[in-house]
Structure 1
Amino acid sequence: MRFLPLLIAGAALAAPAAALAHPHIFAEARLEVVAGEDGTIEELRNVWRFDEMFSASVVMDFDKNSNAELDPDELAEVGKTVLDSLEEFSYYTTITEDGRTVKVRKPDVINVDYKDGQLLMFFAVKPDEVMPLKGKLTFGVYDPTMYASMDFPSDGDLVTVGDKFAACKSAVVRPDPDEVLSENQSSLTDAFFNDPTGTDMSKLFATRLEVTC
């Protein structure tokens, strides 16, 4: 089954439900949470580096002139496809403010590059509302369908940027799967693991940056 024409998001909807129990696409991620001079969250800067197998499949699908490379226009087409297909998934970006989910705006563009056999994506998203540096804020990147694994190799890949964060405390949280299962046993049912549309419960397993101001 070919998933690449739909690039990640559509893949989760097209795949058999049983196949979604574990990820099929792997990416290393970096997230920079930027505060503006006005003391609010300005934007979240994302960098994603995908595994070689997925990257090679993208080349196969978008290399229109068959030169075994992705030319600038082909890279732009990949970015446009992802820009459209991941909108309903909030670009895998999750933000909460004192436990309340904050939506993100559609980015202007998703920049794409292909280096050393791996596909890279660079883009920034903004909160859909004003977010002052106040209370408990969380930021993360995860695929709610669990089809793609978004991994932060080190805690230094989740960072805050801006002088206004000086008055806040931040910490990277990497949930222990066994603890999550134990603490949420009544909620995590077979339907959760086999739901091809994804559920919000998967964020319990996701690495996140917690900021308290």
Structure 2
Amino acid sequence: MRYRNLIITALAAVAAPLPALAHPHIFAEARLEVIAGDDGMISELRNVWRFDEMFSSSVLLDFDKNTDLKLDEQELAELGETMRTSLADFHYFTTITVDGANVGVQKPDAIHVSYDEGQILVFFAVKPEKPMPAKGKLTFGVYDPSMYTAIDFPTDKDLVAEGKALAACKHQVVRPDPDEIISQNSATLTEAFFNDPTGNDMTKLFATRLEVTC
């Protein structure tokens, strides 16, 4: 219950019981734009998340302080700042690798939120925590390491790479088959889940991602 309450208010928590990990309770459709600057470096990752109506209704109840059944500008700003603070421990659900090595992200300047036709929409950009040239094999994805939130990209066109430095690179959207991953990694995944029930690095095997080879 504690995990659910914090997810509703911040999309992040650390106390989920193990059974919840394998079954998402929150669903979001996403778009990810990987941007390279004119200097050949990855400058930022732009995110758009649209959450399901049930979760969005729960957020409305929590943040509608004046009980007018809508989220005004101040309430949306409070929600965005809550998410900006709380999602830091989860790297804003963002995964980046360079030749297999993980790269963290900086805290975004702001997370912008809107409430449109009964759904919460979230907009923000994150930057790699260290200079990242568009060289080698790069991967970019968005996933909840606890697997409590299912983040889906409806089409391959929702993962895009932009900028001259990335134009000549090979781009591929990878959509892993969960059954195949479980079959190939069952022993490791079982151990990982029991050792760290709040989520762990192994869960990114399930994440849809953009692979860029330069």
**TM-score, L = length of structure 2:** 0.94
Change in CA separation of 1:51 and 1:194 when aligned onto 2, cut-off 3 Å: farther
| Counterpart mapping for 1:110-129 below 5 A | 110-129=111-130
Structure 2 residue matching 1:189: 3-state secondary structure: helix
Size of the aligned set, in residue pairs, is: 211
User: What amino acid does structure 1 have at the position aligned with 2:182?
Assistant: L
Gapped regions of structure 2 (runs ≥ 5): none
User: What's the counterpart of residue 63 of structure 1?
Assistant: 64
- Take 2:180 and 2:18, find their aligned partners in 1: how far apart are those partners? 25
Name the Cα RMSD after superposition: 1.5
User: What's the counterpart of residue 144 of structure 1?
Assistant: 145
Q: Give the C-alpha shift of residue 111 in structure 1.
A: 0.2
The question of whether the paired residues in 2 share the 8 Å contact of 1:3 and 1:14 is answered with no
Structure 1 residue matching 2:83: 3-state secondary structure: helix
User: What's the counterpart of residue 167 of structure 2?
Assistant: 166
User: What's the counterpart of residue 180 of structure 2?
Assistant: 179
- Out of 7, 10, 20, the position equivalent to 1:7 is 10
Change in CA separation of 1:194 and 1:119 when aligned onto 2, cut-off 3 Å: farther
179-188 vs 87-96, which moves further = 179-188
Change in CA separation of 1:203 and 1:191 when aligned onto 2, cut-off 3 Å: closer
- Take 1:109 and 1:75, find their aligned partners in 2: how far apart are those partners? 12
Q: Give the C-alpha shift of residue 194 in structure 1.
A: 8.3
- Take 1:100 and 1:120, find their aligned partners in 2: how far apart are those partners? 31
Q: Give the C-alpha shift of residue 195 in structure 1.
A: 4.0
User: What's the counterpart of residue 92 of structure 1?
Assistant: 93
Q: Give the C-alpha shift of residue 17 in structure 1.
A: 2.5
Structure 1 residue matching 2:199: 3-state secondary structure: coil
- Take 1:191 and 1:101, find their aligned partners in 2: how far apart are those partners? 18
* Identity across matched positions, percent: 67
- Take 1:76 and 1:152, find their aligned partners in 2: how far apart are those partners? 26
Structure 2 residue matching 1:86: 3-state secondary structure: helix
- Take 1:61 and 1:127, find their aligned partners in 2: how far apart are those partners? 32
Q: Give the C-alpha shift of residue 162 in structure 1.
A: 1.1
- Take 1:194 and 1:156, find their aligned partners in 2: how far apart are those partners? 36
Gapped regions of structure 1 (runs ≥ 5): none
Structure 1 residue matching 2:75: 3-state secondary structure: helix
**TM-score, L = length of structure 1:** 0.94
The C-alpha deviation readout for 1:26-84, integer Å capped at 9, x for no partner, is 00000000000000100000000000011001110000111100000000000000001
Change in CA separation of 1:150 and 1:194 when aligned onto 2, cut-off 3 Å: farther
The question of whether the paired residues in 2 share the 8 Å contact of 1:8 and 1:147 is answered with no
- Take 1:165 and 1:191, find their aligned partners in 2: how far apart are those partners? 35
- Take 1:182 and 1:63, find their aligned partners in 2: how far apart are those partners? 45
The C-alpha deviation readout for 1:82-101, integer Å capped at 9, x for no partner, is 00110000000000000000
Structure 1 runs of 4+ with >6 Å offset: none
The question of whether the paired residues in 2 share the 8 Å contact of 1:32 and 1:44 is answered with yes
